[in-house]
């Protein structure tokens, strides 16, 4: 059965070079920014990902590489004794949270205390 040309613009297809570039840029750009970079709309980029699964894979791989690198640096800082890095890690990965409690002493005076709860 012969395909009928429905008109419109031809489908955008990313080259291997563009896919590699997208992988690299995905570390610092979101999908809307990537679409702008490549001169296509966000909707077109989604259509490209659907037609070319390797584009979607490259985006995910680039993001994962960047997250792994930053997480590795955070762990190194935390292991090296960096208190803010340790606190950030524990808050985001161990469920710790900071709270402020107002406690009343026997004399009736209120005092603010800062706690880190598990």
Q: Where are the alpha helices (DSSP H) in 52-106?
A: 53-79, 83-93
Q: Report the half-sphere exposure of 30 (CA within 13 A, side-chain side).
A: 2
Q: Tell me, what's the pLDDT at 2?
A: 64
The answer to whether 68 and 30 have CB atoms below 8 angstroms apart is no
Summary mean pLDDT of the chain: 89
The pLDDT tens digits of the residues spanning 4-37 come to: 667 788 999 999 999 999 999 999 999 999 999 9
Alpha carbons within 13 angstroms on the beta-carbon side of residue 40 total: 20
Phi/psi at 14 (5° precision)? -80, 135
The answer to whether residue 118 scores a pLDDT higher than 60 is no
Confidence of residue 108 (pLDDT cuts 50, 70, 90): low
Overall pTM > 0.85? no
Of 73 and 104, the one with more pLDDT: 73
What is the distance between the alpha carbons of residues 40 and 57, in angstroms, rounded to a whole number?
19
């Amino acid at each position: 059965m012969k395909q009928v040309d429905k008109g419109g613009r031809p489908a955008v297809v990313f080259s291997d070079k563009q896919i590699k570039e997208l992988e690299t840029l995905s570390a610092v750009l979101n999908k809307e920014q990537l679409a702008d970079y490549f001169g296509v709309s966000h909707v077109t980029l989604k259509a490209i990902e659907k037609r070319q699964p390797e584009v979607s894979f490259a985006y995910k791989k680039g993001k994962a590489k960047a997250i792994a690198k930053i997480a590795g640096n955070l762990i190194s800082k935390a292991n090296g004794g960096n208190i803010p890095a340790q606190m950030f890690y524990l808050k985001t990965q161990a469920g710790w949270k900071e709270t402020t409690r107002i406690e009343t002493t026997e004399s009736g005076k209120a005092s603010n205390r800062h706690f880190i709860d598990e």
